Chains A and B, each alone.
Chain A
Amino acid sequence: MKKKELQELQGIASQVRRDIVRMVNNAGNGHPGGALGCADLLTLLYFKVMERKEKFEMNGENEDLFFLSNGHISAVWYSVLARSGYFDVEELKTHRKIDSRLQGHPTPYEELEGVRMASGSLGQGLSVAIGAALTKKLNKENKVVYVLMGDGEQQEGQIWEAAMFAAHHKVDNLIAFIDHNKQQIDGSTDEVMSVESLKDKYESFGWNVFECDGNNMEKLYSTIILAKKEVGNQKPLMILMKTEMGYGVDYMMGTHKWHGVAPNDEETKKALEQLEETLGDF
């Protein structure tokens, strides 16, 4: 990737992080931590990696698809969807409020452009992504399905039923990501219920696993490109992203405390001082 393009993408990610902080502050509650940590990935996917149609179509034929399994980090997805033009950025103001399409957890119920499946109850998104990938194969498409999960979410049994299926049925048009921030609600994943080693686990299930720093856009991008080269090679693909919960806001990093707490006005001000406004706030 050219330096200028990289800087441009980093600029978008900075705006997305501003949006996240302002959205949860505006709502008075929400999940900033995981959302901030995944801003680089979602920005890259929507602004660089995914082949997607400008206008949203539920069926998503002949385009790449993205599913968010860890639905609580919806704020990052909403910001990226709005910034990619699926709906007006002004709508970000309504997140988590009554009569909004931007529900606490994403849903197609109110027909928000960009969302194809409800999530929020954890552990279900990998199965859904596998289903969509199978349909792409049946439709003789060569587009890719992407899905993002949490690392705490890996504790759900359904994930491993899905992992087994994907390898057994050679679902090789699927690239899954894990937001490996090592945090969840009650503490670090190591304290709560260790999920290590995720790499060994997925490899032993028959997946092709890549690892990278999920908050370094350049490295993340080159890893996605490596994984994309393996599409069609008989194995489901996994990118384990080492991330930092709350990335970009110094006082939110290195702890699980900001998993589900909104910054107050003063904390928000402090956060925004660290994040450049590049595309204009909503």
Chain B
Amino acid sequence: MKYSFSEKKDTRSGFGDGLLEVAKKNDRVVGLCADLTGSLKMGDFKKAFPDRFFQVGIAEANMIGIAAGMTIGGMIPYTGTFANFSTGRVYDQIRQSIAYSKKNVKICASHAGLTLGEDGATHQILEDIGLMKMLPHMTVINTCDYNQTKAATIAIADLEGPVYLRFGRPKVPVFTPDNDSFEVGKAVQLCEGSDVTIIATGHLVWEALLAEEILSNKGLSVDVINIHTIKPLDEKAIIDSVRETKCVVTAEEHQIFGGLGESVAGVLARSFPAPIEMVGVKDCFGESGEPDELMVKYGLTKNEIVDAAMKVIARKA
């Protein structure tokens, strides 16, 4: 195994710690939360900067509007709630007051995807990447571990414009380096290989690394790319890799329709047609259950990535 981890941490803690750190450096950073301060790990920020924290109550549409308004005059608002209430719940407010108005709001969304667990399908949004990437001006980021989430939270303060930052609930392996630089829009190459490219985002990046190990034990050489920024997509990194491997597997904790896989397929169809297989949720809602067992039931593990890789390699002409 080319990567290892010494501990597991939740990505939302990366957000909370990153927010505190960026707020210390940048006094324009403000935080808004809709009755989920603990879940979003915004408590330390609230304590350190009580004047720059705004509790809006259970009123997400209002939160988005207020955040948009606060940018006028130069604040950099970070909104925090679950991914479902950060996107689907407030889509038109984001569309009109943030995206169309080109406002510098950072929409920070935890508990994305199936790994939200026992609260079930009402809360497990699997469409948010699609919703957000379709909006002009919107940058869409989905981070893979604590370190990357923290780095992204800090980096987006310096990016002028709307950002959707997606992260999760459970504790997951921390395998990216501490204090790694985060470059928005730049893919991270994790393994180099020539037989197949695996492009993964969010919690599925670790699964892609586990799949790489299985595949390399079968004698296959695998390119693994961590796409933390789904929009703008690092098209060059994708094309360069697939030019070498001639086939690709995508993996994400999201619907196949509208997700990373479709974005990658679009790039390839336009520039370098190659067989593609997508690991993701197949047009159904989630359900209550423990995060790990849900990932197994809905086919979002290393095993499905390995199967998809074998299939896509066989499809090469």
Contacts and interface: CB of A to CB of B under 8 A. Distances in A.
A49 B118 CA distance: 32
Contacts of B121: 103, 105, 107, 109, 118
Q: Is the interface of B mostly helix, strand, loop or mixed?
A: loop
Contact of A97 (B39, B58, B84, B288): B288
Contacts, number: 95
B63 to A, nearest CB: 11
B58 A152 contact: yes
A186 B35 contact: yes
A98 B289 contact: yes
Nearest to B46: A186
Given A98-B288, A98-B293, A186-B36, A104 B118 contact: yes
B2 to A, nearest CB: 32
Nearest to B55: A192
B232 interface: no
The interface size bin for chain B is 20 to 34
Contacts of B84: 121
Interface string B36-54: 1111000000000000000
Contacts of A155: 35, 57-59
A184 interface: yes
Q: Is the interface of A mostly helix, strand, loop or mixed?
A: loop
A153 interface: yes
Interface string B54-71: 011111011000000000
A216 to B, nearest CB: 27
Interface string A87-116: 000000000111110011101010000000
Contacts of B85: 121
A99 B56 CA distance: 36
Interface string B288-317: 111001100100000000000000000000
A225 interface: no
A97 B123 contact: no
B123 A105 contact: yes
A71 B122 contact: yes
B27 interface: no
Given A185-B39, A186-B35, 17 more contacts: A29-B118, A72-B119, A96-B289, A97-B288, A98-B290, A98-B293, A100-B287, A107-B121, A107-B122, A118-B122, A120-B120, A122-B58, A152-B57, A152-B58, A155-B59, A185-B36, A186-B33
23 contacts: A71-B122, A96-B288, A97-B118, A103-B120, A103-B288, A104-B119, A104-B120, A104-B122, A104-B123, A105-B119, A105-B120, A105-B121, A109-B121, A120-B119, A120-B122, A121-B89, A123-B58, A152-B57, A156-B59, A157-B62, A184-B35, A185-B38, A193-B56
Closest 9 CB pairs of A and B: A193-B57, A120-B122, A98-B289, A104-B120, A155-B57, A104-B119, A103-B120, A155-B58, A96-B118
